[in-house]
Amino acid sequence: MKTNQNTPTLFVVTHKNYRMPKDALYVPIQVGSGDTIHAEWLRDNTEDNISDKNLTFCELTALYWVWKNTDADVVGLCHYRRYLGSPKSGRGGRRKKLLSSADIEFLLNEADVILPRKRHYYIETRESQYVHAHHAKDIECVEAILTEKFPEYLAAWERMKKSRSGHICNMFVMPRKRLDDYCKWLFAILFEAEKRLDISTYNENDRRVFGYLAERLLDVWIDKNGLRTVEVPMLTLEDQHWLKKGSAFLWRKFFAKKK
Confidence of residue 96 (pLDDT cuts 50, 70, 90): confident
Q: What is the distance between the alpha carbons of residues 74 and 47, in angstroms, rounded to a whole number?
A: 21
Higher pLDDT, 56 or 95: 56
C-alpha 184/C-alpha 59 separation (Å) is: 16
| Residue 132 pLDDT grade (very low, low, confident, very high; cuts 50, 70, 90) | very high
- CA–CA separation, 171 vs 71, rounded Å? 19
- The DSSP secondary-structure symbol of 113 reads E
Helix axes 154-162, 136-149, angle to 10 degrees: 160
Please state, as a whole number, how many other Cβ atoms lie within 10 Å of the Cβ of residue 121. Answer: 15
3-class secondary structure, 95: coil
Helices (H), the chain: 54-57, 60-69, 101-108, 126-133, 136-149, 154-162, 176-196, 209-224, 242-254
Q: For 205-245, what is each residue's pLDDT tens digit?
A: 999 999 999 999 999 999 999 999 999 999 998 754 434 44
Whether the pLDDT of residue 21 is over 70: the answer is yes
Q: What is the pLDDT of residue 231?
A: 98
H/E stretch holding 189: helix 176-196
State the pLDDT at residue 253. Answer: 42
3-state secondary structure at position 235: strand
Query: Which DSSP symbol is given to 147?
Result: H
pLDDT band for 90, please (50, 70, 90 cuts): low
Question: Higher model confidence: residue 253 or residue 66?
Answer: 66
More confident residue, 200 or 90: 200
